[in-house]
Amino acid sequence: MLNLHIRKLKKSDVVLGLGDFNTETGTRRVSLETVLGPRGSGTYNDNSERLLNFCFDLDLYVAGSWFQRRSVRRVAWFSSDGVTAKEIDYVLVSTRWTVLENCHVCHSLEFSTDHCPVIASLALKMRRSIVKTCSQNFCYNKRKLNDLEIESQYSV
C-alpha cells in the first residue's frame, strides 16, 4: 500500500522514510549497492530482505549505513535485559537526491525509553521563487473604471 503512494509522487520530490523498522540491515551488499552503504550492521534475515527490497524498488537508501560512526552512535534500541542493543530505527532517503549530510543516534533524552531518536542532517537547496508580474492578458484594465458607460452597468 505504501509502495503505491510513493510511486505516485513526482520524481522531483524528496522522499524521507523515518521509523522503527524492527530489523537489522546486515552487511551483505550484493546487488544492493545503491540501497545499503558499506557500514550496515547486524545480522541479515527475512525482515532485512523485505526492508532492503522495499528500498530497492522505490529508489531509497538506508541513511545510517553510509556514515562511519562509533557503535554508541549507531545503536538505537536497548532490550530490557540490559545487554542486547541493535540498530533497528532508520532514515530512508530517495536516491535521486544527495541531501543527507549526517545520520546518528542521540542518547541524551530526559525521559526513559528503550528507543533513542535517530538524527539526520539534511541540506535542501531551494530555488528562489520568482514572483511573476501579471501580463496584460490577466491584469484588470483600471482605466475602464473611469468610463461612465461601464460605471452605470455596475452601479448598485
Domain boundary assignment for the chain:
2-131
Report pTM: 0.66
Alpha carbon separation from 86 to 5, 28, 35, 40, 155 (Å, rounded): 29, 17, 19, 12, 75
Q: Which CATH architecture has domain 2-131?
A: 4-Layer Sandwich (3.60)
What beta strand segments (E) does 4-133 contain? 16-20, 60-62, 77-78, 85-86, 89-94, 100-105, 118-122
pLDDT of residue 135: 57
Is 136 a residue whose pLDDT tops 70? no
pLDDT of residue 29: 78
Digit-coded pLDDT (tens) for 108-117? 776 777 778 8
Q: Show the CA angle centred on residue 12, arms to residues 7 and 17, nearest 5°.
A: 55
Digit-coded pLDDT (tens) for 119-130? 888 887 777 777
The owner of cell 562511519 is: 68
Give yes or no for a contact between 126 and 99, defined as CB atoms under 8 angstroms apart.
Answer: no
Q: In the structure, what pLDDT confidence band is assigned to residue 103 with cuts at 50, 70 and 90?
A: confident
The owner of cell 530505527 is: 89
Residue in 13, 108, 25, 103 with CA at minimum distance from that of residue 66: 103
Digit-coded pLDDT (tens) for 8-61? 888 888 888 888 888 888 888 788 888 888 888 888 889 888 888 999 998 898
> What's the CA gap between 17 and 90, in Å, rounded?
8
